Amino acid sequence: MTLESEKPASTKSAEKKAAKPSSKPATAAAGKTSGKKTDAEGDVLGIRISHADRLLFSDPDITKIDLARYYGVVAVRLLPFAARHPVSILRCPQGPDHQCFYQKHASDGFPDEIHQVPIEETDGDVANYLFVDDAEGLIAAVQMGTIEFHIWGSTVDRLDAADRLVFDLDPDPSVTFETVKTAAVDLRDTLDNIGLKSLAMVSGGKGIHVIVPLSKSAVWEDAKAFAKALSVKIADEDPDHYIATMSKAKRTGRIFIDWLRNERGATAVTPYSVRARKGGPVATPVSWEELNDLGVANSFRIPDILARLESGTDPWAEAKDWKQSLTKAMLKAVGAES
C-alpha cells in the first residue's frame, strides 16, 4: 500500500471559516488554481490542501484543489445521501493514474473531520469505520488523496437497516448503453408496480444504478431478500438479457443485476462522487427523462456537474418528499421469504 508522505490537515474545527461553497464553482469549473508550483498549498473551507496543483485529470484539467472545491460545492447534494453512512474511500495519493486503494478503516493520523465509528464485523471483530457528516469531511478526505466515495446503505445511527436499495446494472461489454437504459426503465416500472418509486444514476463507469430511497429503513434481511428475489425473477423471466449471479462467464451479452449491494457492509458509489477514471467522470443523478437522451454512463464531468448545480438542476429533488418503505406485501409480491 503506497501512502502519501504529507501529514493530514490539522484539525482546528473551531477556527473554520463559514462554508460558502456556492461562491466557488466558476473557479473550479474553469480548472484554475492559484499557483504553479507542484508543492503549492491551498485552503478549502479551512482545510489545508497540500500539492494543491497536482493534476488529477485532464480535458479539462482538474487539480487536487479543484477536486476539493468540487466536493465543497456538491456537498449540498451529496451529503443528503452519504452523510453518516459508513464510507469507503478510494485513495489515489499520487493521482488516478498511479496506485489507488480502497480504505474502509481508519488508520493513523486520520483527521478529525473524517469521523470514526466502531462496527462489529461478521467475524465478531470490531473495527473503526469511517463516516463524514459535512463538506469538511469530504475535503479532508480529498487532502488524503481520496477521489471516490462509496457508502453503505445504512447510517451509523441505524446500522442494521437500509435507508435505500440499490440495483446496480452491470452490462457485459457487448451490451449497448441503449439496452442498459431500457433495462433501467423496465426495472423502474417493475418497482413502480410493486409500489416503490426509484431514481436513476449513471455510475460514471459503464452502468446505471437504480436506487429506491426508503423513508422507513428496512432491516438488511428484508432488503437483501427483496432485492435478490426481484433480480432473480427478472433474470428467470428474461434469461437472454439478464443474469442475477455474479459469474463473469455467464454474463456474456447480458446485464448483471447486482443486488448484492443490498447487504450489511456492502457499498455503492455515492451520488456525485468523481470516479478515478480517465477524464474524471462523475456518478450522476439523472431524471428518467434525461436518461432517455444519454449515450453513455460516463459523460458527466466535474464542470458539467458544477454547471448543473449553478442552474439549480436537481434531478432527484422530488424524492425528498417520498414516503415509502418495504412492506410484507412487497416481499410477498416478489416471492421473498422473510
User: Under the rule (CB under 5 A), what is the footprint of Mn ion?
Assistant: 168, 170, 207
Figure out which of the listed residues 113, 163, 170, 222 binds ligand ATP, where binding follows CB under 6 A. Answer: 170
> Which of 4, 17, 90 is closest to 51 using CA atoms?
4
**Residue 203 binds ligand ATP, judged by CB under 6 A:** yes
**Residue 130 binds ligand ATP, judged by CB under 6 A:** no
Residue 168 cell numbers, joined? 446496480
Q: From residue 166, how far is each of 9, 77, 92 by CA, in Å?
A: 34, 18, 26
Q: Which residue type is seen at 338? A: S
| Least distance CB 297 / ligand ATP (angstroms) | 6
Nearer to ligand ATP, 168 or 222 (CB): 168
Where does this chain touch ligand ATP (CB under 6 A) — which range of 47-55, 226-234, 235-243, 264-272? Answer: 264-272
Nearer to ligand ATP, 39 or 101 (CB): 101
Residue 88's binding partner among Mn ion, ligand ATP, none (Cβ under 5 to 8 angstroms by kind) is ligand ATP
Cell 462496527 sits on residue: 119
Nearer to ligand ATP, 171 or 303 (CB): 171
| Least distance CB 85 / Mn ion (angstroms) | 18
CA 316 distance to own-chain centroid = 14
Residue 267's binding partner among ligand ATP, Mn ion, none (Cβ under 5 to 8 angstroms by kind) is ligand ATP
Using a 10 angstrom Cβ sphere, with 0-12 exposed, 13-18 middle and 19 or more buried, the burial of residue 311 is: exposed
Q: Number of residues in contact with ligand ATP, rule: CB under 6 A?
A: 13
**Residue 168 binds ligand ATP, judged by CB under 6 A:** yes
Angle in degrees, 0-180, between the axes of helices 177-194 and 220-237, rounded to the nearest 10: 120
Q: CB under 8 Å to 329, separation ≥6 — which residues?
A: 195
**Residue 91 binds ligand ATP, judged by CB under 6 A:** no
Q: Which of residues 139-158 bind ligand ATP (CB under 6 A)?
A: 150
Helices (H), the chain: 25-30, 64-82, 135-143, 177-194, 220-237, 288-291, 302-310, 328-333
| Least distance CB 270 / ligand ATP (angstroms) | 8
Q: State which residue has the least CB distance to ligand ATP.
A: 205
Nearer to Mn ion, 111 or 204 (CB): 204
Figure out which of the listed residues 33, 50, 88, 190 binds ligand ATP, where binding follows CB under 6 A. Answer: 88
Helices (H), 165-286: 177-194, 220-237
The per-type count for the chain, helices as H runs and strands as E runs, is 8, 16
**Do residues 30 and 37 touch, judged by C-beta distance below 8 A?**
no
Alpha-carbon dihedral sign for residues 87, 266, 161, 79: positive
Residue 154's binding partner among ligand ATP, Mn ion, none (Cβ under 5 to 8 angstroms by kind) is none
Cell 464531468 sits on residue: 301
**Residue 87 binds ligand ATP, judged by CB under 6 A:** no
**Do residues 284 and 300 touch, judged by C-beta distance below 8 A?**
yes
**Residue 269 binds ligand ATP, judged by CB under 6 A:** yes
Where does this chain touch ligand ATP (CB under 6 A) — which range of 92-100, 116-124, 199-207, 299-307? Answer: 199-207
Nearer to Mn ion, 144 or 255 (CB): 255
Task: Compose the 101-120 pattern: x for residues touching ligand ATP by CB under 6 A, - for all others.
Answer: -x------------------
**Residue 205 binds ligand ATP, judged by CB under 6 A:** yes
Length of the chain: 338
Residue 38 cell numbers, joined? 507542484
Residues making contact with ligand ATP (CB under 6 A) = 88, 102, 150, 168, 170, 203, 205-207, 267-269, 297
